[in-house]
Structure 1
């Protein structure tokens, strides 16, 4: 919702200020379809050249993050800690029983209690692969920690691709605006024999290209890229929490301590309260009893 409000503010303040200063929208509206076709079409074409089909689809999906915001909410972080607590406790008490859950998470009764997490393949693979590695009796937990760090670095790099693509488009739009403006000037020079009022309209139309390129770059595309990056970085805390808890488990800390390590390393605005989490864990213990 805040994204829509931001776009509305941009348009109202830019075009409202222009009209309030005595500007006339007629010349902008007359040139807009042609300038937009040249600048927008060239930007889209360049985007398609520099990305494969998978990256194009990912970017189109990620644009929705500008308006939807982060995927993981405070309740999801609490559920994740509860899920990890159940899995760690089961791994300590009955490692054989744990195998059926990490080998088939789609059919797991434990994962099924947390459907939002169960439907995220990145979270499930990270949890299951790390627990599977722990069952292989690694002598040095730092080995698993290093593997996790590299894996999350690759995952983060992939998730950031949309932001980088949008920022590249934002960087190129002002130059494409100049291209459109130059074409408008060329058109004007071909009509140099026309009266001044006609030439004035033609020059004004050519300058719309420069305006549009800069406006789209810094008013829309750049902020879109920045917002997508911020959402990706925020959602990355969810996977970082998995890492913190499972690494603590590899160091053989008690299950409650592992969960508290994860809770303490969660950003404050999504961190479950200590009492709220304790109550949820207590309910899990009672159900298992």
Structure 2
């Protein structure tokens, strides 16, 4: 919603200001299809050339994610903390029963109570792999923390590929605009025998290329890349909460304290309140 509003405001303010200043829109509209073909086509072609198939495959979904916003909300963080609380408590009381849950999370009543988390393969894999490793005596909290940090860093690198690719495209667009402008100048020079009013329009059309390259780069594509990057970082904080709780558990802190460590590590705007989380954990204890 905010992304679409930002695009509308940018376009209206730029072209509206130009029109109000007395600029003639017909010059831009006449040149726009051809300049967009040159600049947009070259940008898309270079994007395909410079990126792998995996990045190309996820480009459209990445752009949609930038407009939709973060996948995880405040309630999801509270649900995650409740899930981890149940798993840690079960692991300390009945390690054999915990193993059944982590080996088959799809059929686990604990995991199935939180379908949004269960649908995230990476989140479930981090939880189950870490708990499984602890059951196999790989439970040095410092080594596990280092392992999880590296794992989350790899996830971040993969998740940021599309944002970085879009930013690279944005960096190239002004130069591609110059290419279009130079081609327009070449066309103008080939018609140097024409009267000044015709040459003026041709030069104006050529300059549209420079304008479009800069406008697309800094008005649309670069902000889109930055928005996607922010959304991805926002979602990756979900995995950081998982790491914080599990590492605290390996330090043998009380289960409630482990969950509180995770709550404190959540981003402020997504962090469930202490009272809300305490009430949710109390309900879990009563139900068990």
Q: 1:278 to 1:139 in 2, by over 3 A?
A: closer
Paired residue secondary structure (1:269): coil
Instruction: Give me the whole-angstrom Cα distance separating, in 2, the residues matched to 1:58 and 1:134.
Output: 34
CA shift digits 1:83-107 (9 cap, x unpaired): 0001101111111111121111111
What corresponds to 2:16 in structure 1? Answer: 16
The answer to whether 1:107 aligns with 2:107 is yes
Equivalent residue number for residue 196 of structure 1 = 196
Distance 2:197 2:269 in 1: 59
Runs of 4+ in 1 over 4 A off after TM superposition: none
Paired residues for 1:53-92 under 5 Å? 53-92=53-92
CA distance in 1: counterparts of 2:32 and 2:158, whole angstroms: 35
Instruction: Spell out, residue by residue over 1:231-280, the C-alpha distance to the aligned partner (whole angstroms, 9 max, x if none).
Output: 11111111100000000001111111100111111122111111111111
**CA contact 2:133–2:139 (8 Å) conserved in 1:** no
1:165 aligns with 2:165: yes
Could you tell me which residue of structure 2 aligns to residue 256 of structure 1? Answer: 256
> What does 1:148-159 correspond to in 2, within 5 Å?
148-159=148-159
2:252 counterpart SS class: coil
- In the TM superposition, residue 139 of structure 1 has moved relative to its aligned partner by 5.2
Matches within 5 A, 1:157-236: 157-236=157-236
The aligned length equals: 288
**Corresponding residue of 1:242:** 242
Partner residue of 1:124? 124
Corresponding residue for 2:142?
142
Superposed CA offset, 1:170-199 (max 9, x none)? 000000000000001111111111111111
Name 1:267's counterpart in structure 2: 267
Aligned to 1:133: 133
Residue of structure 2 equivalent to 1:285: 285
Q: Which residue of 2 aligns with 1:35?
A: 35
Task: Name the CA distance, whole Å, in 2 between partners of 1:119 and 1:138.
Answer: 27
- Distance in 2 of aligned mates of 1:140 and 1:82: 24
> How large is the Cα RMSD of the aligned pairs?
0.8
Contact 2:139 2:250 in 1 (8 A): no
Is 2:49 the counterpart of 1:49? Answer: yes
Structure 2 Cα separation of the partners of residues 139 and 203 of structure 1: 70
Query: Using the alignment, how far apart are the partners of 2:153 and 2:268 within structure 1?
Result: 23
Helix, strand or coil for the counterpart of 1:270? coil
Contact 2:102 2:128 in 1 (8 A): yes
C-alpha distance in 2, partners of 1:224/1:272?
29
Q: Is the 8 A contact 2:148 2:243 kept in 1?
A: yes
The alignment partner of 2:125 has SS state of helix
